[in-house]
Chains A and B, each alone.
Chain A
Amino acid sequence: MILQALHALFTPVSLFAVFIGTTSGVIVGGMPGLTATMAVALLIPVTFALEPLTGLLLMGGVYCGAMYGGSIPAILLRTPGTPAAVATAIEGYPMTQQGKGGLALKVSVVASFTGGTFSTLILLMIAPALATFALTFGPPEYFLLALLGLAGIVSMADDENRLIKALISGFIGLVLAVVGTDPISGMLRYTMGVTDLFDGIAFMPALIGMFSLSQMLELTGTKQVVDEAAIETTKKFKREPLPKGISKPIWLGSLIGTVIGILPGEGATIAAFVSYNVARRRSKNPQLFGKGSPEGIAAAEAGNNGCVGGSLVPTLTLGIPGNSVAAALLGGLLIHGLVPGPELFTTYGVMTYAFILSLFIANVIFLLLGLFMAPYFARISMTPTNMLIPVVCLFSVLGAYAMNNSITDVFISLLFGLAAIILQKTGFSLGALILGLILGPIAETGFAQALIIGHGSYSIFFTRPQALALWVIIILLLITPMIQIYRQSKQEQKEQTNG
């Protein structure tokens, strides 16, 4: 069947579909505000007119390409194209400022490729077994998974002062996440009668405001993104070798991304942050994190691309989409009469395997594209700001509007942009805020649902083996930075008393 699938895949039309899909995916992912979900949803009506396989290949290519594409503006302009690229922006942008933007892009594309390929391999080999594992996760586990993501807030701080500020930012994010319809009772909270707020504050417009718009306002005082002194290094970048020590975070990220991607829910963002966090804990150069660490980029990008294959595991085997992009893809499958389940791997096996195999090709395409184009992309960071700012602002506003065709979202975006500048000038962490905003609803729903399932008893969070395992990981991730910060403050006190 695999051979037949290969035969179906290696026709000019199919290969062309993968190529077009991946390239346009990279472009879509690279534009702030245009997301993979949107692109796949827009493609569905187009696929009506195509052969089912061609349509699927196109959508798969867009998915792979967009997940990688999000990292390009994140690194060069600190404007993440997708929420999953926020961690990449935290590490990649400082590198660009130091004139190492091209290198950061190279690290990101290699990590993305490894993560994507690894997860596709897992999808191809052991999809059904993994899907069964994903199902053992219920509401209590989703609550803990959100906590695990929130634990990343701690790793955004190096010292006590910053830690408190990061926690406050995370808390602001959680408070903002309260706006909307109560997931359990259906009551409205702080929506002020605005229909657009019934679903809560949409996080893409918030993200666009906080990162893209605030960044553009910040840039108004400078001539270009890259520091004056680093201009020459940006120009010289040609065949610089990949930095050492990135292979460990890449594999770590690939594994974590694939595992988290399999769980139905908000996969890629959590995956990127968790693998970033773990990589930071295990790094030999933790002091570089937050100031332009290639290891951080590697872990985050391998993590979010690892989600691609992972999220398709429950989608194809059980009909449960792993995230919103997979949900749109599922819609596309259903239109062609392909119902997810075991039949997909037997009766329609040729098409399904051709689709999975095409993801490998998509990964190779964006790898070549990324490696070849990196030096040229890197030059974007040298664009004079008087040209850069209007263009990025235009796309940002457009993206904020296009998410839900809502003008309210544009205002949300502008408000967050202004707030972000004040927060950043006073040393509060934007990453922590966005984590709170995205993970707040997941944590809340999981918590409330777990209590309903447990008939009001809190023991449900401690009796299930999966939940216990997650507790252990959370505590491990929290303890090390706590000790570090505690020691540091002790030392400072000593120095002060001695001096």
Chain B
Amino acid sequence: MRKILLLAMAMALFFPLNAMAAYPEKPITIIVPSKAGGSTDTSARLFIKAAKKYWPKAEFVVKDVSGSGGLKGFEEIARAKPDGYTIGMVFTTQIVAHIVSKRAHYALDSFHIIGNAMQDPLIVAVPEKSPIKNLDDLIKTAKAKSMTAAVNGIGSDDFVAAKKFEQQTGVKFNLLPTKGSTEQKAMILGGHIDASFMNLSQLQAQHKAGKARIIAILADKRSEILPDVKTAAEQGYPVSMTATRGFVAPAGISKDIAAKLDDLLQKVNKDPGFIADTDKGVLFRLPMTGPEYLAYLKKLQAETQKFYDQNPW
């Protein structure tokens, strides 16, 4: 009897371990909710390159599901079978903006949050010929006349940043929604608008080349690639906003697999090769663990909800 019990215990111990050791035994699909060649897609591919070092036998496949501001991709991740073979990337503020605007067929609970990897801080930029040199100038001018500021669509990270800035400083911009960073860049370089809220990576090259001027970075500390640009807080306006790019899995995956994935991301986030690759590709890292990132997303959702209630879209 005792022998049987022992055997049963041993088997009970052995089999789950065995099942765990086997994961991953087939390719893991990473759903990227944006276009191939974009920065989220690049992040996923750099992650894979580094992850292979820690899981040498694992195979990863990137699946780009673009469209509707990431909504199609987010929904596909939420809908996927929670077996650990489909994970995906999310980006802010779109992931929460879709929930707030009631368009999403998912909630934050639909995901197991693995953690965050990348970010792209928001910046305030003006055309090269603009007399505005810093935030004080900008606010003074905005109070004197109506200034046109471009953002990338309603509900995007740029939009939330502009709204936070308005709230913090009491100015009102003539907000111009665009189809994306390409249009914003063309308008800033051509001097068609007075200012633009956009991401650091989208304009840093133009700033360096002297074709546009970044007057503030909405982050806690200055960026290493543009050390001359002051943060908004340094200029007396503590507005901070960044676009994060993290990893999630569908909710309901087994605890063991979730723990393995969480651990993998943390290892990749610290990997020297990964750090070197991201620096080369002008991507900015913002390592966060699962619980940290979940708390961040919840806070962002509450903030976005506030702007939505004031002026729904």
Contact = CB atoms under 8 A, between A and B. Distances in A.
Contacts of A181: 68
Given A41-B37, A135-B189, A318-B189, A186 B68 contact: no
Contacts of B174: 452, 455
B176 interface: yes
A34 B68 CA distance: 21
Contacts of B62: 45
Contacts of A445: 179
B163 interface: no
Interface stretch (A23-31, A218-226, A325-333): A325-333
A339 interface: yes
A211 B41 CA distance: 33
Given A138-B192, A449-B178, A455 B146 contact: yes
Interface stretch (B4-12, B22-30, B180-188, B233-241): B180-188
B190 A138 contact: yes
Contacts, number: 129
A401 to B, nearest CB: 13
Contacts of B153: 183, 186
A405 interface: yes
Contacts of A328: 35-37
Contacts of B186: 134-135, 137, 264, 314, 318, 320
A198 B67 contact: yes
A340 interface: yes
B16 interface: no
Interface stretch (B84-92, B164-172, B206-214, B291-299): B206-214
A138 B281 contact: no
A335 B103 CA distance: 33
Interface in A115-159: 134-139
B267 interface: no
A1 interface: no
B36 A195 contact: no
A166 to B, nearest CB: 28
Contact of B72 (A196, A330, A332, A449): A196
B40 to A, nearest CB: 11
Given A42-B36, A331-B38, A321 B182 contact: yes
B192 A341 contact: no
Contacts of A337: 280-282
B263 interface: no
Contacts of B182: 264, 320-321, 327
A327 B37 contact: yes
A404 B175 CA distance: 30
Contact of B67 (A42, A135, A199, A319): A199
A422 interface: no
A276 B280 CA distance: 44
Given A138-B190, A319-B185, A341-B206, A186 B177 contact: yes
Given A135-B186, A327-B182, A404 B66 contact: yes
A330 to B, nearest CB: 8
Contacts of A41: 35-37, 64
Contacts of A164: none
B42 to A, nearest CB: 6
A463 interface: no
Please indicate which of the listed interface residues A195, A198, A455 has the most CB atoms of chain B within 10 Å of its own CB.
A195
B113 interface: no
B96 to A, nearest CB: 15
A270 to B, nearest CB: 16
B93 to A, nearest CB: 13
Contacts of A53: none
Interface residues of A, number: 50
Interface string A173-188: 0000000010111111
B148 A186 contact: no
Nearest to B155: A186
A198 B68 contact: yes
A81 to B, nearest CB: 20
B78 interface: no
B75 interface: yes
B300 interface: no
B192 A139 contact: yes
A136 B192 CA distance: 8
B281 A334 contact: yes
Interface string A454-482: 01000000000000000000000000000
A363 B243 CA distance: 41
A30 to B, nearest CB: 22
Contact of B176 (A136, A264, A341, A449): A449
Contacts of A332: 37
B91 to A, nearest CB: 16
A187 B155 CA distance: 11
Nearest to A340: B205
A185 B154 contact: yes
A286 interface: no
Contacts of A217: none
B205 A186 contact: no
A48 interface: yes
Interface string A10-42: 000000000000000000000000000000111
A404 B67 contact: yes
Nearest to B180: A327
A453 interface: yes
B68 A195 contact: yes
Identify the 9 closest CB pairs spanning chains A and B, nearest first: A331-B37, A186-B154, A135-B190, A198-B68, A138-B192, A186-B313, A41-B36, A339-B205, A341-B209
20 contacts: A40-B37, A41-B36, A44-B36, A45-B36, A183-B179, A185-B177, A186-B153, A186-B154, A195-B67, A196-B67, A196-B72, A320-B182, A320-B189, A327-B182, A328-B35, A332-B37, A337-B280, A342-B209, A404-B67, A452-B148
Interface of B: 35-38, 41-42, 45, 62, 64-69, 71-72, 75, 101, 103, 105, 146, 148, 153-155, 174-179, 182-183, 185-187, 189-193, 205-206, 208-209, 211, 280-282, 313
